[in-house]
Amino acid sequence: MPPLNLRIPGPTPLPNEVREALSRPMINHRGAEFKAILRDVTAKVQHFYGTQNEVLFYTASGTGGLEAAVVNTLSPGDTMIGVEIGVFGKRANTIAERYGVRVIPYRVPWGQAADPDELRALLRRHPETKAVWLTHNETSTGVTNPMPELVAAIKAESEALILVDSVSGMAALPLPVDELGLDVVVSGSQKAWMIPPGLATLSVSERAWAANQRCTAPRFYWDFAAMRKAAREGSTAFTPAISLFYALQVALDLMLQEGKEAIYERHRRAGAWMREQVQALGLRLFADPRHASDVVTAVLPPEGVDPDELRAQLRERYNIVLAGGQGELKGKIFRIGHLGLFTQDELQAVIDGLREVIAARVSA
């Protein structure tokens, strides 16, 4: 059996250097050593975000980061336009609703990206909008939103805060936070950062800090102000996931060695290659090709074939693990992850494996 080829859109495989870092002994999280690590990773994460904004770290999965973005900027009764192009956009809207935010969903058929003109028209109809929620890369459908165009549409029409879920996009796909003027941008450690799940990062703009001061939503663990106060003293408000900080520091150095632009280029090529190869197998892509994601490829199975059965066969025969569909796409598509750590051979193995299991399935 070949080694595990984990090709899901997070958690991603870990570089050996990261796995070693994870086994280091604990340190005092209020001591000088942790302070130095936090300072170092903060500057390097800011580099990948393209921001001078404060970056906060929470011990949480990505969803915790989404909740933190909501409860620190929006008060009960505030209006938020939630751009929903898949499972994760829908989740953000649900979180906001739970906290009493009046959510105006902008629902786009799954597989499509949001349209800047439609978003602008919606903002014009709702001048009371306090924030717009955007998903940068919608992992469930394999679609990347046209962020510069959507942001320009929002800014042309409104002063609304721009809150962004870039959990699976940041550090793999370009999203220059300050150049675009994004207010809160959430990412998650198990995606392009090549470390295990458990660390959510958020950048917070000056406008978002102003909103934070006025915001009356209940919060304790997620409170930005408490986290900022701790960060300025070189620590975190609560005990950090120390091992993940070791891992992140090592991963960031690997990422810097490769270079931000080279990382974007590697993902761009992987995405284009994967889409071409999948189609050459006679399979159809789920995402609108104009907005297909370069970190995850969503694929429709051959007619009459259960995608989950294809995945089970790949797993059994070749030790290749792909992701299934989520939400209403469960049992309808499968997804190939190509983000963070991957080699061309590993991507080739996915295509070779798919060719074999499809041939076997069709001739059976």
Residue 318 vs 334, nearer CB to ligand PLP: 334
Examine residue 61 and tell whether it contacts ligand PLP (CB under 6 A).
yes
For residue 341, the cross-strand partners are: none
Task: Find out whether 155 and 181 touch, Cβ atoms under 8 Å.
Answer: yes
326 sits near ligand PLP (criterion: CB under 6 A): no
**Residue 319 within binding range of ligand PLP, rule CB under 6 A:** no
Kindly state the smallest distance separating residue 187's Cβ from ligand PLP, in Å: 9
Contact with ligand PLP (CB under 6 A) among 6, 8, 10, 157:
10
CA distances from 21 to 14, 18, 222, 223, 243 (A): 11, 5, 27, 29, 7
Ranked by CB distance to ligand PLP, the top (closest) residue is 62
48 forms part of the interface with ligand PLP (CB under 6 A): no
Nearer to ligand PLP, 168 or 205 (CB): 168
Indicate whether 62 belongs to the interface with ligand PLP (CB under 6 A).
yes
Tokens for 273, please give them: 């290659």
**Choice from 188, 271, 325, 337 touching ligand PLP (CB under 6 A):** 188
Residue with tokens 């997804």: 335
Q: Which long-range contacts (CB under 8 A, 24 or more apart) does 287-292 make?
A: 287/111, 287/141, 287/142, 287/143, 288/111, 288/112, 288/113, 288/143, 290/113, 291/112, 291/113, 291/143, 291/144, 291/145, 291/146, 292/142, 292/143, 292/144
Site string for ligand PLP, 139-178 (x = CB under 6 A): x-------------------------x-xx----------
Binding site for ligand PLP (CB under 6 A): 10, 61-63, 88, 135, 137, 139, 165, 167-168, 188, 197
